[in-house]
Structure 1
């Protein structure tokens, strides 16, 4: 199967490699000449066999522009997949616009961060059954080995909505772990905080990959001395809380975690050091050190 991949950043580049390892032919385009396979979107489209499938892995700020350009390059029966962290309310608009030329659209929430190349990506897709079936070899290549990791969540928009809620849950989990770390770190009674967390990785109800990453972060910096207590909030955290307000669904944990990130952006917060450390571990996010680097 031939796939066009637009956007070869931290995740896109690894996704290209994972698909190639699975035997798919991937033609990539990125503005960075060091990673791109083609010089333009037009060249990318020309190198694909029909029906052409183009996966867009870009920041939300440029998705509209790229989908509009693809609309002028693709033909009836082709498929565009938006795998970036786009807002779910934009998906119906993109699908409707592309449908004017008979081009199909699928939205896909992707989770896996910088570890996805080896571990696989959790994929949440929204769209028609036939479009999902056309893209299934791509989903199979990207998802983790085993039974789980991919879901056809529903109609167009469902994939990004599911990923949005996933990120809201992620906010809450990270905040709880981080507050627990701060409490243990502050209590003089506990002298080996790192090993306490390490002991929880087996046999407890709070074991998780995030907990594994916490211990990894503490191995690198036992007291997080080089990390500023600052954590950015992605759009999805805000969208989750806003959607909950619109639907009348109480999400106090997610809302509190979002507001904690707002607090971290105003002053150095000890618990936010751990949130920042975990984000760096799974997503490769840059951390602000005390020296300003």
Structure 2
């Protein structure tokens, strides 16, 4: 029995299939963790969702910002961007089933036995593990309810950017969603900066990557995240692991086998056609 953790798939179904073949992944005995952003930008978002859903209890995922955006597009709240390449998914005969399954997935995974925590963007330094679990559950609860379109309509925005237990309503849900699915940089006090999308060494002071600030959760757990392709899986401290290596941008899909910490790499089937435009798209 092995535990495999894979970075952002972004519709790269062929690469996902090839990567799992490398280790002869067996859903009858192995477990697959996925860091979110299952869809968009790659050509196989529909195939990825169908496959991941078929794995049942053998898979543990978290929702990413592109997954949430898909939900908003399907609900008629946001527009379908051609560059996301999700039209085949939106028009599929089983789209309703896939979307309803997706919106019932978590934003946070915690394994107390393995001391593993996974969120798409990471864990804000302003939270301890109990706060992170509480805030994730609140978002998950409204997403799985009949009132989810109200939340999807209100989730876009960069404020509030500072955690307080006194936050309520949609403002609280928006902060939690940004922290779990969009965060990259923070101020030294842990306050989110939702504007800067530079490489970590190019950010203006006093901004720091969220993982460069003392994090209460990292004291007791290994934190697994995706979202930040330009990191290429590098530059994080011990106990915080970034697995997004930009497969949809022509990079690779990266998988970590937890039991022996071995990495497996599947190169992208695509090549970057324009580094300048890709760099701009990565920041979205």
TM-score of the alignment, normalized to the shorter chain, above 0.5 = no
* Structure label with greater radius of gyration: 1
More helix by share: 1
The one of the two structures with greater contact order (alpha-carbon pairs below 8 A, sep at least 6) is 2
TM-score, normalised to structure 1, is: 0.31
